[in-house]
Chains A and B, each alone.
Chain A
Amino acid sequence: AQSVTQLDSQVPVFEEAPVELRCNYSSSVSVYLFWYVQYPNQGLQLLLKYLSGSTLVESINGFEAEFNKSQTSFHLRKPSVHISDTAEYFCAVIPSGAGSYQLTFGKGTKLSVIP
């Protein structure tokens, strides 16, 4: 079984400041890792994913995450946040090569960007 821990439930940050949202996972097998973003009253949108290869993955809107196997972490970072980044962010995992698609999510981190 897998588990995901998002260490901060809420993160306030000033506009244009950097931010890091932390995610740690536990799994006895190899996993794929994901970050999803959810705006109020919306579904989940995939922000970025790690499947294999380079441990640093980037999104089109300036977010990046680094897979650290030894620390079992997949922290999300952005060097300069914008008001529009205010949302809830979820880290998720799935066993790689799994026969079924079942995501295990963290509890989420609410990012509030302060003008």
Chain B
Amino acid sequence: KAGVTQTPRYLIKTRGQQVTLSCSPISGHRSVSWYQQTPGQGLQFLFEYFSETQRNKGNFPGRFSGRQFSNSRSEMNVSTLELGDSALYLCASSSPQNTEAFFGQGTRLTVV
């Protein structure tokens, strides 16, 4: 069974640009959540999608958005990039019983 796949693994963007990250969950998982990991703030919840609907949202500005498609694949978008958006972005899909989350390898975003 394939794991959670995130693409791309690495990205370098310039301030002011926008970026889209992709996440393919484990087959059969309908919940996809996103986290931002930085050395200073640690792991912070961005949002969660379930059956194409945003079910929960963390405390991030509106520049951070996401969506989920009918095949459960999810994308997150960050517009007007700032230097502070440099981070490892992790995607997780959770089992139907919500008792376990499986994480992808992450996308390392560097904003210069």
Contact = CB atoms under 8 A, between A and B. Distances in A.
Contacts, number: 59
A100 interface: yes
B104 interface: yes
Contact of A104 (B45, B48, B101, B103): B45
B99 interface: yes
B19 interface: no
A43 B90 contact: yes
Contact of B48 (A41, A44, A46, A102): A102
B62 interface: no
B84 interface: no
6 contacts: A34-B100, A43-B106, A46-B101, A99-B55, A102-B56, A103-B101
B9 to A, nearest CB: 9
Interface in B83-112: 90, 92, 94, 98-106, 108
